[in-house]
Amino acid sequence: MNENDITVTFTEAEHEFLLDLLTYAQESMNFISPYLYELNSLPIDNSIVQRHFMIENIKERFSALWANRFES
């Protein structure tokens, strides 16, 4: 499999929709984590912890891109 970075172009509506989905995913993980596991007690290389950080990172990048749309 080719593991190079990819570039995807989104419409304004798609970008906002994906930002909403990322927000909901992050909020869901934050809501359920105390009931299933203590996120802070899991090792950093745990797949749940890695996915949590990945969602958080992607959401921050999408939010920054969204904010940049208003800086023209």
Domain residue limits, the chain:
12-68
End-to-end CA distance of the chain, in Å? 39
Q: Is 25 exposed, middle or buried (CB count within 10 Å of its CB: 0-12, 13-18, 19+)?
A: middle
32-64 tens-digit pLDDT: 777 666 767 788 888 888 888 899 999 999 899
pLDDT for residue 37: 67
pTM as predicted: 0.74
Give the percent of the chain with pLDDT over 90. Answer: 38
pLDDT for residue 32: 79
